[in-house]
Amino acid sequence: MRFYQKDNILIPTKSNPPHSFRISYASPNLLITPPLTRAYPFNPQLQATLQGKALLLSELPFSEEEIQVHYENGYCSYMQGIDKNARNKYICKRCGNENQQLFASFPCARCKATCTYCRNCIMMGRISECTPLITWSGPKLTQETSEIALQWNGSLSPGQQEASDKMEAIIEDQSELLIWAVCGAGKTEILFKGIEKALKQNQRVCIATPRTDVVLELAPRLQEVFPDIKVLPVYGGSEDRHLYSPLTISTTHQLFRFQQAFDLVILDEMDAFPYSVDTSLQYAVQKAGKEHSTLIYLTATPDKDWQEKCRQKKIPFVTIPARFHQYPLPVPTFQWCGNWEKGLNKEKLPATLIKWIRERVPEKKPMLLFVPKIYYMEKIKMLLQPIISSLETVHAEDSNRKEKVQKMRDKKLDLLITTTILERGVTFPNVDVAVLGAENQIFTESALVQISGRVGRKKEFPDGTITFFHYGKTNSMVSARKQIMKSNKEARERGMLL
């Protein structure tokens, strides 16, 4: 769409009248929202939908006319979607993309000109030079939550308690905190007290996590302990995403739609792909928080940079080196297995791996085998079929992924061959884990720590083995083992183990 101006007010138009312009080329004084008409009876549904967000017209279930009237009365603002940065390069105001390769131009039927758009966040609808982002400028809606109470009778381990206390203190200061909790420390419970505190101060809270599965798992869990409020899950395609909620559980991607929304943002698995590599997701997290807000990073495996930041005390952090059940973390053993790729091409698996499997078959011990490439999975499955009856393979694009994982949970499988997609978030009781080709670069330090963290998660089965079959030790393997041993040592010293 194009705009023209009348008495310093922007007026949208679908045609191309003389002196009309696109929002990206509007002069700065025209982007100032008109003063608020207090008497104007604004639409509270629009307020609930738009507050704390920056959305496209096409994402709003309200007419363009209604938005325009709200703008003229000072309740909505038009913002540029695509802007130029200081070096005169394009920048996307929604996702923060500044990589010029991720912009493209086309002859646009809406503005009747060559129009540049952002390809980085295209899945949320196209944002181009003629696309305004709409924000709320009217009075803020706050849901009164000072009376709510946490409904949870569980108890925290000493490590969890310490982190929980630190988090409460940080919310008071409105700054940042890194919670470095080993796999199986019980991260969710640590957050309960802090979230309760924020809500009691009428703050708006968001937990952001990279994966939809986790959103779907966390939302009911939190709803259960905060029954007084409506916990809102937000992910691509979620139904209620237009509602306002004091506690939002969102995928990191959906944060692109938020702006200046939250007083407390908890970023789960901040080391995980894609957050760790996608700078625009980091931009999204910054944008979603209010100017004065608290940011909690939650991770089991901070990368080298963050470990260094902690060591140099550049960021406040707290570590939980012990698991909730207070048994030590299983430490990986290394097993050289020769050039396994070459062997596979000759239809052969490493003898050491076969031995590892044969030992476990009679005991009916569930096994998880990580491999670096989807390409090898079927062959490995075929080669193992003679010695093991029930086995499956699973990877990210597998349409039966859910069913297969469930089969493993139900103990209907003896062996599940997987890529790194199962490195996080899954618990199979009593499982033993092996990595074939642990030297592959896909197995980073954090991936290996996470994989090792699949073992011994249940109190009933706190042990289990984790073996890295490799063709040459890598730094990642050594660092991963070191990190796990260091956590165990720290836990012992702090008296957190049984």
Partner 1 sequence: MICVICLAPVSPEFNWTYLFTREPECYLCADCKGKLEVIKGETCQVCGRSLQILETIHVKDGVCRDCQKWEETDEWKGVLRLNQSLFLYNDFLKETITRFKYRGDFRLASVFISFLPKDLGKNKIVVPIPLSDERLYERGFNQVEAILFYTKIPYTNCLVRIHSEKQSKKTRQERLQIENIFKLEKKESIIAQDILLVDDIYTTGATLRIAAKLLKEAGAKSISSFTIAR
Cβ proximity to partner 1: between 374 and 497 the closer is: 374
> ∠ CA 230-245-93 to the nearest 5 degrees?
150
Residue 101 found at the interface with partner 1 (CB under 8 A): yes
Give yes or no for a contact between 266 and 296, defined as CB atoms under 8 angstroms apart: yes
Which range binds partner 1 by CB under 8 A, 106-114, 225-233, 368-376, 388-396?
106-114
Residue 106 found at the interface with partner 1 (CB under 8 A): yes
Residue 458 found at the interface with partner 1 (CB under 8 A): no
- Alpha-carbon span 467 to 42, nearest angstrom: 63
Looking up tokens 């890529």 gives: 419
Residue 115 found at the interface with partner 1 (CB under 8 A): yes
Residue 442 found at the interface with partner 1 (CB under 8 A): no
- Alpha-carbon span 97 to 15, nearest angstrom: 30
Which range binds partner 1 by CB under 8 A, 4-12, 119-127, 305-313, 349-357?
119-127
Between 35 and 64, how does the x/- string for binding to partner 1 read (CB under 8 A)? -----------------------x------
Residue 216 found at the interface with partner 1 (CB under 8 A): no
Residue 317 found at the interface with partner 1 (CB under 8 A): no
**Which residues touch 134 (CB under 8 Å, ≥6 apart)?**
50, 54, 55, 56, 57, 60, 67, 76, 77, 78, 79
Q: Which helix (H) or strand (E) holds 251?
A: strand 247-251
Q: In whole angstroms, how close is the CB of 440 to partner 1 at the nearest point? A: 18
**Which residues touch 73 (CB under 8 Å, ≥6 apart)?**
34, 36, 37, 40, 42
Which range binds partner 1 by CB under 8 A, 83-91, 113-121, 227-235, 403-411?
113-121
Residue 14 found at the interface with partner 1 (CB under 8 A): yes
Residue 109 found at the interface with partner 1 (CB under 8 A): yes
The interaxial angle of helices 445-452 and 475-493, nearest 10 deg, is: 50
Residue 232, helix vs strand vs coil: strand
Residue 441 found at the interface with partner 1 (CB under 8 A): no
Q: Which helix (H) or strand (E) holds 336?
A: strand 333-336
Query: How many residues form the binding site for partner 1 (CB under 8 A)?
Result: 19
Which range binds partner 1 by CB under 8 A, 117-125, 176-184, 257-265, 468-476?
117-125
Residue 104 found at the interface with partner 1 (CB under 8 A): yes
Q: Is the Cα torsion angle 409, 269, 247, 63 positive or negative in sign?
A: negative
Q: Is the Cα torsion angle 86, 89, 93, 99 positive or negative in sign?
A: negative
Q: In whole angstroms, how close is the CB of 102 to partner 1 at the nearest point? A: 7
Q: In whole angstroms, how close is the CB of 122 to partner 1 at the nearest point? A: 5
Residue 254 found at the interface with partner 1 (CB under 8 A): no
| Burial call 119-140: b when 16+ CB within 10 Å, e when fewer | ebbeebebbbbbbbbbbbbbee
Between 123 and 152, how does the x/- string for binding to partner 1 read (CB under 8 A)? x-xx-x------------------------
Residue 277 found at the interface with partner 1 (CB under 8 A): no
Cβ proximity to partner 1: between 18 and 107 the closer is: 107
Torsion, Cα 473 476 482 487, to 10 degrees, reads -150
Residue 368, helix vs strand vs coil: strand
Among 28, 41, 107, 237, indicate the residue that binds partner 1 (CB under 8 A).
Answer: 107
Residue 336 CB: number of other CB atoms within 10 A? Answer: 13
Residues near partner 1 (CB under 8 A) are: 14, 58, 101-102, 104, 106-110, 115, 117, 119-120, 122-123, 125-126, 128
